[in-house]
Every structure is written in C-alpha cells, then in structure tokens.
Structure 1
Amino acid sequence: MGNRVALIGIIVDGDSCDESIHKLNEILHDAREYIIGRMGVPYREKGISMISVALDAPNDVISSVSGKIGMLKGVTAKAIYSNK
C-alpha cells in the first residue's frame, strides 16, 4: 500500500509534565523521514500549545504516531487524512 498525506493535530496541556513533552519530541523525531512540516502555536491565555504535523507516510505509520502521541499524559492527538 502507498503513502497517504495526513495532518495530525496535537494539543498539549500547559500543565503537562516535562516527560510527556520529551516523549512527544522523541516520537516526532523518530517519524522525521515522513514529516513534511510542523507548526506550533502557544495559546498562553488558555495555557495550551497547539501543534500541527503534516505527514506523507504509510497508513500504519500515521496511525502509530498519532496513537503514541495521544497516549501521553496531558496530550491529545487526532489525525485527518487526505483523499489523495
């Protein structure tokens, strides 16, 4: 099966422990060959950070990355896929 283009939306609670943030960066580093780009936006008024990660990867890689990120304490992740 070929690659798919997807966007993973990530919200990090400002109270998240350093361990979760470190693990998040490790997961993204491990997927670096598939990452097209990423953008982070701190929303200080709400005490959260929002990160979007664009990927071109096999479906199982996208699911794995999104799932691993979503399991981190204080972190939420959802993937959306292109029809192409």
Structure 2
Amino acid sequence: METRIALIGIIVENMEVVENVNQILHEYGKYIVGRMGIPYKEKGVSIISIVIDADNNAISSLSGKLGMLEGISVKTVYSKYGK
C-alpha cells in the first residue's frame, strides 16, 4: 500500500468537542507519527498538529471527520511523494 506523509493542523475553538477530537484521533492512532498540542489560553483556543503516514483515503477520512465537528478548523498539507 502506498502511503504519504501529511501534516494536519487543527484549531479547536469549541472546547466542548475536545473529547470527540481525541476519540477520532484515537481511531487513527496506528497512522499517527507524532502529535503536538498547544493551549493558547489568551485566545481561548487550542492548536493541535498531527503528523500522519497513511494512504490518501485514511488521511482524507481523518481530516473530514475532524472538520465536521462544530468549532473545529482543519487544514491538511501533503508531502509531494508517496512511498
């Protein structure tokens, strides 16, 4: 299976859905290479960056599920090359 590396940036503006975010990330845990979370208390948001190594369908599915949550913004950047 060909995989790609991607960086998924998540901004959480609705803290009520944090549990949902974590549950979705747990579902895709086998693909996650690394995760960094930064609480930005002054602005009332949290920023999460996820590095993932997976096939295009898994990356799109994860991004899509996160993006459907209210108060969550998601952007995905893909590497140019698969392996």
Short-chain TM bin: over 0.9
- Which residue in the other structure is 1:10 paired with? 10
TM-score (norm 1): 0.91
- Which residue in the other structure is 1:56 paired with? 53
TM-score (norm 2): 0.92
SS state of the match for residue 82, structure 1?
strand
SS state of the match for residue 33, structure 1?
coil
State the shift of 1:71 in Å: 0.7
- Candidates 64, 67, 72, aligned match of 2:64: 67
Q: Which amino acid aligns with 2:24?
A: I
SS state of the match for residue 62, structure 1?
helix
- Candidates 31, 36, 40, aligned match of 1:34: 31
Paired-residue identity, %? 53
State the shift of 1:82 in Å: 0.5
Change (3 A) 1:17 1:51: closer
User: How many residue pairs were aligned?
Assistant: 81
SS state of the match for residue 45, structure 1?
coil
The reply to whether residue 80 of structure 1 matches residue 77 of structure 2 is yes
Q: Which amino acid aligns with 1:5?
A: I
SS state of the match for residue 34, structure 2?
strand
Unaligned runs of 5+ in 2: none
Superposition misfits of 4+ residues, deviation over 2 angstroms: none
Q: CA RMSD in A?
A: 1.0
